[in-house]
């Protein structure tokens, strides 16, 4: 949500400086440039004729701090600016935003993230063109000047490159690949070589076409910057900065390595009209290792996490979704001198059970799934060393608090005298028991900006967060989770 708010603030600045619609701007610019000879513009793309969402002169292929393409959203925005600058219909084409999206969408979650490139040129109008009698301006339009001493246009290089996905799909590593089908140009540029520099002491490393380059990180999760350099077949060199987010697993103890996180039971379907399956993972307490109760379910702590917005995209790989290891890492981060996970295990002896589920279905449908899971857990429990069957502790985080409360209440109502949930304690954290509140203004902003046409392309096609937000607000759980909801966009 923070990313989307920052994007919206940027758009507010754009609206502040431009009150006309893109259609009105295009009509006005067509009138301004209607009489000039379009074929005299060397590239057929005129910066002054198109959109200027971003300052294209920053992206000239030369290494400066401002030459920075942080993500695919910025890549698409710069591409849209170039597309809108095409003034000569016979000039070489660049792909539409829709075409780019259709190409990269099937590759988004590849193990190696492909890089995407735009190596193009455009022209700008010389700022002294009229004063130097290279063009004349009369009645709101430019005119060519016969016999002028030089061209009124200056050709500028443009270069943009970045990963097609903002986040690495593997834990602790960024793996990039160079796919020649993701190289776009309006001037016939072809790449001879690609190099990557992660500033880890090795300098630029060559990335062959179809090959991969992997950089490992062990410090902390976050956005990792790197430089991209291409050498074209004509010898020209272009560079820019980019980055990608990588999740680095913290050291939360050997008990939490992958081999110790085990599946529990099979799949448990919820009761939605189109059912989704949930699964469980368990880490058995090591307090009982070496006893007859080792690796048996004795004292369950059952964790139901909150809304996972990655459920919007069914192709999201498990490594990018909420999971047990990420939760354990969050619990132990920035706690100096106190091992929360050890307190749960070494001291209290809990068996941690984490529930993976599709979070966008209605609360009651996922509660039915949780009831089946609780029944299974209870069927697998064995008595403790004192011969007593332990009661469960259920922890519901955010949306998980509502689901667990609903499930336990339903089981209690079904048998008030002797509830079958075998639960002594429900802990909810940050759970909106009286409903969640998302400001209507924020909802309108995200909805309306997503549908707003910016020089022929809706923002939701360039900024994925807008499209995701629309899908989220139309999900079944959104209608229950949030107190108020806007219907439709004001802008068409």
- What is the reported pLDDT for 18? 42
Helix pair angle (464-473, 2-17), 10° resolution? 120
Domains recognised in the chain with CATH numbers: 55-125+155-246 (2.60.40.10), 254-429 (3.40.50)
- What is the reported pLDDT for 336? 60
**In this structure, what is the dihedral angle of CA atoms 303, 309, 314, 317, given to the nearest 10 degrees?**
-70
- What is the reported pLDDT for 438? 80
Q: For residues 369 and 278, what is the distance between their CA atoms, to the nearest angstrom?
A: 7
> What kind and span of H or E run contains 300?
strand 300-304
Question: Residue holding tokens 């001291």?
Answer: 347
CB 268 within 8 A of CB 346: no
Q: Which residues are 383's β-sheet partners?
A: none
Considering Cα of 352, then 358, then 362, then 365, what sign does the dihedral take? Answer: negative
**Helical residues (DSSP H) of 251-396, grouped into ranges:** 324-332, 340-342, 363-380
Q: For residues 215 and 82, what is the distance between their CA atoms, to the nearest angstrom?
A: 32
- What is the reported pLDDT for 334? 53
| Residue 220 phi, psi (nearest 5) | -160, 160
- What is the reported pLDDT for 253? 54
- What is the reported pLDDT for 184? 97
pLDDT per residue of the chain (492 residues) written in tens, 0 to 9: 445 444 544 444 444 434 345 578 889 999 999 999 999 999 999 999 998 888 899 999 999 988 999 999 999 999 999 999 999 999 999 999 999 999 999 999 999 999 999 999 999 999 999 999 999 999 999 999 999 999 999 999 999 999 999 999 888 899 999 999 999 999 999 999 999 999 999 999 999 988 999 999 988 889 999 999 999 999 999 999 999 999 887 655 555 555 588 899 999 999 999 999 999 999 999 889 899 999 999 999 999 999 998 898 888 888 788 887 778 777 766 556 667 777 777 778 899 999 999 999 999 999 999 999 999 999 999 999 999 999 999 999 999 999 999 999 999 999 999 899 999 999 999 999 998 888 888 777 777 777 777 777 887 888 887 778 778 888 899 888 888 887 764 443
CB 120 within 8 A of CB 82: yes
Pairing of strands 351-356, 300-304: parallel
- What is the reported pLDDT for 491? 41
Pairing of strands 173-184, 212-216: antiparallel
Question: Residue holding tokens 């609360």?
Answer: 363
Q: How many residues does the chain have?
A: 492
Considering Cα of 285, then 286, then 288, then 290, what sign does the dihedral take? Answer: positive
């Amino acid at each position: 949500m923070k990313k989307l708010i920052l994007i919206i603030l940027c758009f507010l600045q754009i609206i502040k400086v431009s009150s006309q619609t893109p259609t009105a701007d295009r009509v006005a610019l067509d009138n301004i440039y209607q009489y000039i000879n379009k074929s005299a513009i060397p590239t057929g793309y005129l910066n002054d004729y198109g959109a200027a969402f971003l300052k294209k002169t920053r992206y000239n292929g030369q290494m400066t701090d401002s030459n920075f393409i942080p993500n695919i959203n910025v890549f698409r925005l710069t591409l849209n600016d170039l597309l809108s600058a095409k003034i000569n219909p016979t000039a070489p084409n660049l792909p539409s935003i829709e075409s780019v999206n259709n190409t990269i969408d099937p590759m988004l979650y590849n193990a190696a993230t492909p890089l995407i490139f735009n190596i193009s040129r455009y022209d700008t109008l010389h700022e002294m063109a009229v004063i130097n009698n290279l063009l004349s301006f009369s009645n709101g339009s430019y005119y060519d000047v016969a016999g002028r001493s030089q061209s009124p246009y200056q050709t500028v290089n443009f270069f943009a490159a970045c990963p097609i996905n903002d986040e690495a799909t593997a834990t602790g590593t960024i793996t990039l690949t160079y796919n020649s089908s993701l190289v776009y140009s309006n001037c016939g540029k072809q790449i001879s070589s690609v190099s990557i520099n992660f500033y880890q002491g090795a300098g630029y490393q060559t990335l062959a076409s179809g090959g991969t380059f992997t950089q490992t990180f062990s410090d902390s999760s976050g956005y990792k910057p790197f430089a991209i350099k291409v050498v074209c077949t004509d010898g020209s060199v272009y560079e820019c900065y980019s980055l990608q987010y990588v999740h680095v697993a913290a050291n939360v103890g050997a008990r939490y390595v992958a081999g110790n996180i085990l599946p529990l039971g099979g799949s448990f379907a919820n009761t939605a009209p189109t059912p989704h399956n949930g699964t469980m993972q368990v880490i058995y307490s090591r307090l009982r290792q070496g006893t007859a109760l080792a690796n048996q379910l004795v004292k369950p702590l059952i964790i139901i996490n909150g809304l996972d917005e990655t459920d919007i995209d069914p192709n999201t790989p498990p490594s990018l979704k909420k999971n047990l290891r990420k939760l354990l890492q969050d619990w132990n981060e920035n706690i100096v001198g106190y091992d929360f996970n050890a307190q749960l295990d070494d001291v209290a002896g809990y068996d941690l059970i984490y529930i993976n589920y599709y979070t966008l279905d209605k609360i009651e449908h996922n509660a039915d799934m949780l009831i089946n899971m609780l029944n299974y857990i209870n069927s697998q429990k064995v008595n403790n060393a004192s011969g007593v069957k332990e009661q469960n502790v259920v922890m519901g985080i955010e949306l998980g608090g509502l689901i667990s409360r609903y499930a336990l209440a339903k089981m209690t109502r079904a048998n008030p005298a002797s509830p079958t949930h075998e639960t002594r304690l429900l802990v909810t954290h940050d759970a909106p028991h009286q409903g969640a509140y998302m400001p209507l203004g924020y909802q309108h902003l995200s909805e309306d900006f997503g549908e707003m046409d910016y020089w022929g392309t809706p923002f939701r096609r360039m900024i994925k967060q807008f499209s995701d937000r629309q899908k989220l607000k139309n999900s079944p759980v959104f209608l229950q989770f949030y107190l108020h909801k806007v219907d439709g966009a004001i802008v068409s």
